[in-house]
Amino acid sequence: MELVLALVVLLVLIVLLGLKIVPQSENFVVTRLGAYRRTLDAGVNVIIPFLDRVHSKVPVNDQVLNDISLEVVSADNVVYGAQLLVVYRIVNPEAAVFRVNSIDNLVIGLVQSLVRSELGKVELDQVQSDRGSLNVALLEALEDAGKTYGITISRSEITDVKLNETTQKAMAEVLAAERERRAAITRAEGMRRAAELNADGELYEAQRRADAIRAIAEANAEANRAIAASLEGDNAREALTFQTARMQVEALEGLSKSDNAKLIMLPGGPSNAFREAAAILKDI
């Protein structure tokens, strides 16, 4: 009886040792007598006790490395520090276990090497202004390198760019010069626009004066035609005298409106202009 009980206990122990419950976020890499045997997925799995052994428990969810720092020399020979964030996932657990002893160190080394290569091709201004395209280029390079070791890199971003004091001062001077250049261009465009508007105003004023002169000339021409027509009749002399008197009156009126006119001496001819005009109008 005791032997049977011992066999039952041994059988239960062997079954328990052969059952492996794998969490959802992990895969178990199993070896048999030291050689790779298979990979256990999430759920309940059975192995052969004493022959099979769980060599490694490999996480298959996303792994984040957000403290990768390195120094880079840009295409315009500026030395600066870069901070990167990398997200990767193990898709081939056996390759990640048996081809490299530390997957995190591998990813950090790949990132540092490829980032120096990619960022060294562009200038510092492009790194600061166009990180989106650089992140895409880095991700493509890292994906190709990670396939050999059973990992896939789903995200790679430049999170920060650190400049030394000398570089920051030089960039500040460049930005100040650029702002001054833009301000000078804006002022020049404003002055050009003001000159154009002033020229348009002067042209409009000149056109209006020309129109006024043209209107006066047309009125005078019409008056001269009327005078010429009246000279052909019996009242030619009276019409000519009236027109002369009217011109004298207008001239005197203009003199009286002048700011410099203090005293006006009226000669005999002009002084009689009002009387002669009134007499002509009375006869008409």
Distance between CA atoms of residues 254 and 252, nearest Å:
5
Q: Where are the beta strands (DSSP E) in the chain?
A: 19-22, 26-32, 35-40, 43-46, 52-59, 63-73, 79-90, 151-162
Claim: this prediction has a pTM higher than 0.85: no
Same-domain check for residues 215 and 249: no
Distance between CA atoms of residues 205 and 202, nearest Å:
5
Give the chain's domain count.
4
Distance between CA atoms of residues 274 and 178, nearest Å:
76
pLDDT reported for residue 28: 92
Choosing from 163, 192, 209, the residue where a domain stops is 163
Amino acid at 152: T
Any alpha helices (H) in 42-164, and if so which ranges?
93-98, 103-119, 124-129, 131-146
Q: Are 70 and 120 in contact (CB under 8 A)?
A: no
Measured torsion, CA atoms of residues 120, 124, 127, 130, in degrees rounded to the nearest 10: -120
Same-domain check for residues 224 and 274: no
SS3 assignment, position 41: coil
Residue pLDDT, tens place only, 212-270: 888 887 877 777 677 666 656 555 566 666 666 666 666 666 666 656 555 555 555 54
- Phi, psi for residue 66 in degrees, rounded to 5: -115, 15
Which residues are within 8 A (CB) of 92 and not within 5 positions of it... i.e. 6 or more apart? 150, 151
Whether residue 51 has pLDDT greater than 80: yes
Same-domain check for residues 180 and 210: yes
Choosing from 114, 146, 163, the residue where a domain stops is 163
CATH number, domain with residue 150: 3.30.479.30
Which residues are within 8 A (CB) of 43 and not within 5 positions of it... i.e. 6 or more apart? 21, 22
Whether residue 195 has pLDDT greater than 80: yes
Same-domain check for residues 94 and 169: no
C-alpha torsion sign, points 116, 118, 121, 125: negative
The range of the structural domain enclosing residue 127 comes to: 63-163
Choosing from 24, 39, 59, the residue where a domain stops is 59
Mean pLDDT in the chain? 77
Same-domain check for residues 74 and 53: no
